[in-house]
């Protein structure tokens, strides 16, 4: 019988979830102490029970980059945070050089190339 029985797997999942929650709460608490309780995009203020609607956004989208000075964090409301991540995902998907973005041929024809010569002819 293997050592990864359902109870061992569930226990490991619980330990990992607890560790992630503790880590997330650590930088969230720091960010809430550092910054005013205002969304960085829509400027709505949050207090009391609504404070849970304010999330910590990593500006460089790297959740492991958590400097102690908070320079990679900004507080965003749930709606602005979701919007920011969807914009980032769309940019990655449709950004220049991606397979999904259409490549448009650049125009090389110059309709005014001979214009200077025509204008000199009239003078």
Per-residue pLDDT in tens (0 to 9) along the chain, 123 residues: 455 566 788 888 888 887 776 666 688 888 999 999 999 999 999 999 999 999 999 998 888 888 888 899 999 999 999 999 888 887 777 776 555 555 667 778 888 888 888 888 666
Confidence (pTM) = 0.56
Is 7-99 CATH 3.40.1800?
yes
Decide: 72 and 44 in contact? Cβ < 8 Å: no
Distance spanning both ends of the chain, measured CA to CA: 99
Beta bridge partners of 74: 57
Angle (nearest 5°) at CA 91 between 89 and 95: 135
In the block, residue with structure tokens 């999942």: 13
């Amino acid at each position: 019988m293997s050592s990864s029985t359902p109870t061992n797997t569930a226990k490991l999942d619980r330990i990992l979830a607890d560790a992630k929650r503790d880590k997330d709460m650590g930088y969230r608490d720091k960010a809430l102490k550092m910054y005013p309780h205002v969304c960085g995009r829509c400027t709505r203020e949050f207090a009391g029970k609504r404070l849970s609607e304010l999330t910590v956004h990593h500006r460089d989208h790297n959740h492991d980059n958590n400097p102690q000075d908070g320079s990679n964090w900004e507080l965003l409301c749930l709606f602005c945070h979701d919007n920011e991540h969807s914009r980032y995902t769309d940019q990655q998907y449709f950004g220049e050089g991606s397979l999904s973005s259409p490549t448009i041929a650049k125009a090389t024809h110059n309709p005014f190339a001979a214009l200077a010569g025509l204008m000199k002819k009239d003078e």
